[in-house]
Structure 1
Amino acid sequence: MSDNASGARYFTRPGEGVQAVYNLKDATPYAELGYEEVDEAAYQASLPAPDAPA
């Protein structure tokens, strides 16, 4: 995955939220635990709009 400006990499698994992990060199442990890496744009798109009613 390419580097992004924040330095974070984002991981999720079904039924869970997204975890932002900083300064990660090897994502193997996350993959072994069933996490899938998502890019920052996908993560941002999954967030509710700031003006959306709760």
Structure 2
Amino acid sequence: MSDEAKNPRYFTKEGEGVQVVYNLRDAAPYAELGYEEVDEAAYLASLPASDALTVEGA
């Protein structure tokens, strides 16, 4: 299955992480629960840089 077929949508709520929902057709329930939809670029920009991650004991 290609990434386009999965159709990910990203939702966030203050104080919570991001939820990725695939093949969602109606975002109304998320909006009613106070979630805001963000685009993939905003989601990816919010992730920590991979060089900032450390492995314990390395």
TM-score, normalisation: structure 1: 0.86
Q: How far apart are residue 53 of structure 1 and its match?
A: 4.2
RMSD: 1.6
TM-score, normalisation: structure 2: 0.80
Q: Give the greater-gyration-radius structure (CA).
A: 2
Moved over 4 A (4+): none
Please state which structure has a larger fraction of its residues in helix. 2
**RCO higher in 1 or 2 (8 Å CA, sep ≥ 6)?**
1
How many residues in Structure 1 have an aligned counterpart in Structure 2?
Answer: 51
**Structure 1: 5+ residue runs without aligned partners?**
none
Other-structure match for 2:30? 30
**Structure 2: 5+ residue runs without aligned partners?**
none
Q: What is the percentage of aligned positions where both structures have the same residue?
A: 73
